[in-house]
Amino acid sequence: MRYESEHKPKIRERIVKEAAKAIRAKGPQQVSVAGVMSKAGLTHGGFYAHFASKDALIQAAIGQMFDQVMARWEKDNKGLAPREQLAGYIDFYLSPWHRDNRALGCPVSALASETPRMTAPCQAAFAAGIAKIRGMIIGQLRDMQISDPETLAVSVIAELMGVLSLARCEPDRATSDALLENARVRIKARLGLA
C-alpha cells in the first residue's frame, strides 16, 4: 500500500505526542515503546520506521514538549503587553489545572528530577528547552525594563517549578491551592505585576 508523502511525518508526530504525554505523566524510564505505540493506535513493529531507539523518541518528545510551551505562549499572549504576558504565564503555571494535569503541563516541572538519569542527548534537549523558556521570560523582563533580567528569569523559573512541585506533593487540596495562590501573589508582587 502506498501512502501520501505527508503520511510518515503525521504518524511520527502522533507517536511523539503520545510519548510526550506519557513521559510527563510517568517519567521517561517508565515509558515503553509498546505502550506509546499502542496509545498512538499503532503496532510496536512500526516504531523503528520513525526512530532509531527509545532514546531518540524521548529526545524528540522533549523537544516537542518545549515547542508546545512556546506555541501556547505565542497564542495566549498575542497583542498583550509584556507585563500582562508574564502575569498570565505565572497565573497559568501556578494554577490548579496545571498542578492536576501533569501529562499536559510544562516539561520543566515534570522532568527536572528525571534529567540526571537521562542520556546526554536527552539532557541537551531538556537544556535547550529551558533556554527557550528562560529567553522568553528574559524578553518580557527586558521589555518591562527590569534590571538584571537574566538572573531574575532563572530565579522565576526555579520558583515556579519548585512551588508547582510542592503543590503536587501536598495531599491536602486546600493547602495545595493556598500554596499556589500565595506564590502567585508573591512572585507577581516581586516583579511589580500585582
pLDDT digits (tens, 9 = 90+) for 133-187: 999 999 999 999 999 999 999 999 999 999 999 999 999 999 999 999 999 999 9
Strand, helix or coil at 181?
helix
Residue 88 has pLDDT above 80, yes or no: yes
Strand, helix or coil at 129?
helix
**Radius of gyration of the chain, Cα coordinates, nearest whole angstrom:** 18
Q: Whole-model pTM?
A: 0.87
Residue 2 has pLDDT above 80, yes or no: no
Contacts of 131 (CB under 8 A, 6+ apart): none
Q: State residue 49's pLDDT score.
A: 87
Q: Domain 54-191: which CATH class? A: mainly alpha
Contacts of 12 (CB under 8 A, 6+ apart): 50
Which cell numbers in the block locate residue 99?
A: 498542578
